[in-house]
Structure formats: C-alpha cells, structure tokens
Structure 1
Amino acid sequence: MNQSILFPDLQNWDSQTQTVVFPVQIQGANIECRISLVKLASLSSTTIDAGEQDIASKALVLFDEYRFDIEEEVEALIEQEIFDEQGRVVLL
C-alpha cells in the first residue's frame, strides 16, 4: 500500500447520486471518491434494490465489508491519474 495515500474512516451516503462518498488524502490534499450502488452490489455479489427503505445503511455496511478492495481499486486509479471532470475518483 502506498503510504502517501491515506483513507480516513469517513463515509456517507448521497441519496441523489446513489453513491457512498468518502475522502482520500494524497500528500495532504483531500480528494473526493465515490462508489456507486451498482459497484457495491457487484463487489458483494448481492442484489440491491435502490428503492429499499434502508438503502443507505445497507450501502454503508457493504462499503465497510469491502473497504480493503475498494481502497485498492481507488489507489490504482489514483496512480494511473484517472479522475472525473471534477477531479474525483469514481467507481461505477
């Protein structure tokens, strides 16, 4: 793991975009990262209905369960300098 890339234990659910939003610190700079509900479902091999009442809590639990895999994928994208037009790392 690259020591100049840090993942604080902070994440929240964005209901508008159906993504978990979390920061990454790269040499002191904060970069916003997002992982979609579809990607979380794919990682966990589960079906997630976006209309579920407790979708936020389910998404955050899956994020915690697969955090290591998510962080590895984000780190690889950062090293390849793959950012969206707003400078974020987005896993779809």
Structure 2
Amino acid sequence: MNQSILFPDMQTWDEDKQVVLFPAQQSGALIQCLVSISELKQLSGQDIENEQQALEVFSQYRFDLEELAEELIEEEEFNSEGNIEVVS
C-alpha cells in the first residue's frame, strides 16, 4: 500500500447522487472519492434500499474500495469534477 495516500475513517451519503463519499489525502491534497449505490450492489451482491444499508455495505468493503480508489488516484483517473469514481 502506498503510504502517501491516506484514507481517513470518514464517509457520508449523498442522497441526490446516490453515492457514498469518502476522502483521500495525497501529499496534503484532499481528494473526494465516491462509489455509487449500483457499484456497492454489484460488489456486495446485496440489495441496498437506503442510506444506512449503503453505509454498512461501504464499511464491509472499505478496504477493497480504498485499494481501488488508490489505484485510480495513482493513475490520475479523475472525473470531470476532479473526483475519483470507484468502479471495479
């Protein structure tokens, strides 16, 4: 694991976009990462109906999601808004 990318234990739910947001920090820069509810469903095989379930599934798969986000950050795969969209 690249120690220059840190993931604080913080996550929030964005109801409008139906995504879990979680920050990463690289060399002092804050990077917003996100994973969609559909991606969480695909990863977990679980049906996700609400914010609580989305955050629970995110917590269960946090390590895997952080690894995917780390790879995308290292490859500079930012979206048009400057965020990292985690997809497997």
What range describes the TM-score normalised by the shorter chain of this pair?
over 0.9
Cα deviation for residue 47 of structure 1 reads 2.4
Instruction: Mark the runs of 5 or more structure 1 residues left unpaired by the alignment.
Output: none
Counterpart of 2:22 in structure 1 is 22
Counterpart of 1:65 in structure 2 is 60
Deviation track 1:50-69 (CA, whole Å, cap 9, x = no partner) reads xx3xx101000000000000
Deviation track 1:9-35 (CA, whole Å, cap 9, x = no partner) reads 010100000000110000111010110
TM-score normalized with structure 2 length: 0.94
RMSD between superposed Cα atoms in Å? 0.9
User: How many positions carry a matched residue from both structures?
Assistant: 87
Counterpart of 2:76 in structure 1 is 81
Which structure has the greater CA radius of gyration? Answer: 1
Q: C-alpha separation between the residues in 1 aligned to 2:53 and 2:46?
A: 11
Counterpart of 2:9 in structure 1 is 9
TM-score normalized with structure 1 length: 0.90
Q: What stretches of structure 1 move > 6 A for 4+ residues in a row?
A: none
Q: C-alpha separation between the residues in 2 aligned to 1:36 and 1:23?
A: 15
Identical-pair percentage = 49
Deviation track 1:46-90 (CA, whole Å, cap 9, x = no partner) reads 223xxx3xx101000000000000001001111111000111001
